[in-house]
Amino acid sequence: MTIAFFDFDGTITNRDTLWEIIRFHRGRAAMYAGMVQLLPALLRFKLKMTPAQEMKEQVLDYFFGEMSASDFAAGCEDFCRERLPSLIRPLALTAIRKHQQQGHHVVVVTASAQDWVAPWCRKENIVCLGTRLEVKNKQITGKIQGINCNGEEKVNRIRHAYRLENFGEIYAYGDSEGDRPMLALAQYAHFKPFR
């Protein structure tokens, strides 16, 4: 058996989808207004004074905190149908389909929230392992449930879902330092392959 792990943002897509989902849900003007409000926090993050998960939670809380989970889910479904296809790298989709045609098991492993990646994955018959957002009282809290699915957490999530010793061949595709631990699992590791 063969398995292929793909990062999502920057590998399958041509840009980070966090800001794209914000723009889709809230509109361009609200997104830029929010970026201005969050600028001090974003600068601290750029200077490595704020951890990535903390920064991500500040952004999620600002734009989606207290939004009803059902409204958020519906917007994510719309995003996957209306906006996401134009962000997909054609060569990445070709590689995914080539694996599928050979009977390989294909998995997206992403730091993005499963909410706005899983609907696309379902349509493409791909398993999605992603960051999970906390929901309380049927509302998005803006917090991440557990740990952001990046770096070593990608490996943890993969090992939790699969017994890798059952696979004769492992492929992995990524484009950032946060993908390096996942790429290290594979006999066939591809870094920034779809440029």
What pLDDT does residue 188 have?
97
Q: Supply the mean pLDDT for the chain.
A: 95
d(CA 99, CA 17): 24
Look at residue 80 in the predicted model and tell me its pLDDT: 95
CB 112 within 8 A of CB 157: no
Supply the pTM of this predicted model.
0.93
pLDDT in tens, 59-70: 999 999 989 999
The CATH number of residue 111's host domain is 3.40.50.1000
Q: What is the mean pLDDT of residues 64-77?
A: 95
Number of domains in the chain: 1
CA 69 to chain CA mean position, Å: 18
Which residue segment(s) compose the domain that 30 sits in?
2-191
What's the pLDDT score for residue 99?
Answer: 97
Predicted confidence band of residue 8 (pLDDT cuts 50, 70, 90): very high
The average pLDDT across 45-56 equals 91
**pLDDT of 153:** 97
Per-residue pLDDT tens over the stretch 107-156:
999 999 999 999 999 999 999 999 999 999 999 999 999 999 999 999 99
Q: How far is CA 5 from CA 25, 109, 144, 158, in A?
A: 28, 7, 22, 9
Q: How many CB atoms within 10 Å of residue 143? A: 16
pLDDT digits (tens, 9 = 90+) for 163-190: 999 999 999 999 999 999 999 999 999 9
More confident position, 100 or 50: 100
Q: Which two tokens stand for residue 100?
A: 């599928």
Q: What is the pLDDT of residue 73?
A: 95
